[in-house]
Amino acid sequence: MAKLFFIISALMLFTYGCATVPYTDRQQIMMVSEEQESQIGATLFTEVKQESRLSADPKITSMVSEVGRKIAAAADKPEYKWEFAVIDDKNVNAFALPGGKVAFYTGIMPVCQDEAGIAAVMGHEVAHVLARHGSERMSQQQALSIGGVALMAAISGTSPVVREGVMQAYGLGSQVGVLLPYSRKHELEADKIGMILMAKAGYDPRQAVAFWERMLAKKEGAAPPPFLSTHPSDQKRVEELKGFLPEALKYYKGR
């Protein structure tokens, strides 16, 4: 069974190909083209803007757009149609969509505090776009779907009870063993690349550490166990960012 899944994975790798994450050189299996992901991102962003209440505060929207423009320039992907929006919502969050679409919720602005804090978040979100994490996640989902079909074929001669048990185990294994760890890996990777981008854009990458320390202080209630969370714990983020600071500071002229 493991051999069958290995063969399928190898065939998918040969059929679709690899990509390399900038700055980390991590290899990715990609089943989605950049053109496809940009179309998906543009469509979703249009829907988000239509269904959300956009901020009418010119100071905030102008600041987010200006920081976004600088970080995007540092990312050096002019073929992406970069666009930045601020959503009037108390959510302490921000997100990015493929092809250069980034949105901030107004709820995260008090934690950002200033332009440098916005740059820390913007660097992280633009890093997701630059590293094509969205497409990689879609590719993983497709690969797991194909793997599930192959697994069902491999156990087709067993009883329905055995098949159901194996498929349940496969579903749990793929979620906790593959998708969630990759999501956490993406988050930490975006943190590190984001620090480089903000440094190249002229913002002190040490402010990324300060931002996550504020997030850690703000967090209320119990967080899910880190191994079952799609995001690393804030404390782990702070530790990882501190460890990566010497590398990020190489790109910061104001050091």
Is residue 213 annotated as a catalytic residue, yes or no? Answer: no
Measured from the Cβ of residue 230, the count of other Cβ atoms closer than 10 Å reads 13
Catalytic residue among 37, 83, 125, 189: 125
Instruction: Give the three-class secondary structure for 36.
Output: helix
Q: Which of 185, 199, 44 is nearest to 120 (CA)?
A: 199
Q: Which of 128, 149, 132 is nearest to 12 (CA)?
A: 149
How far apart (Å, rounded) are the C-alpha atoms in residues 64 and 49?
16
Burial class (CB in 10 A: 0-12, 13-18, 19+), 227: exposed
- Contact in structure between 45 and 81 (CB atoms under 8 Å): no
How far apart (Å, rounded) are the C-alpha atoms in residues 209 and 214?
9
How far apart (Å, rounded) are the C-alpha atoms in residues 115 and 29?
35
Q: Kindly state the helix (H) or strand (E) to which residue 96 belongs, with its residue range.
A: strand 94-97
Phi, then psi, of 224 in degrees rounded to 5? -65, 155
Catalytic residue annotation: 125
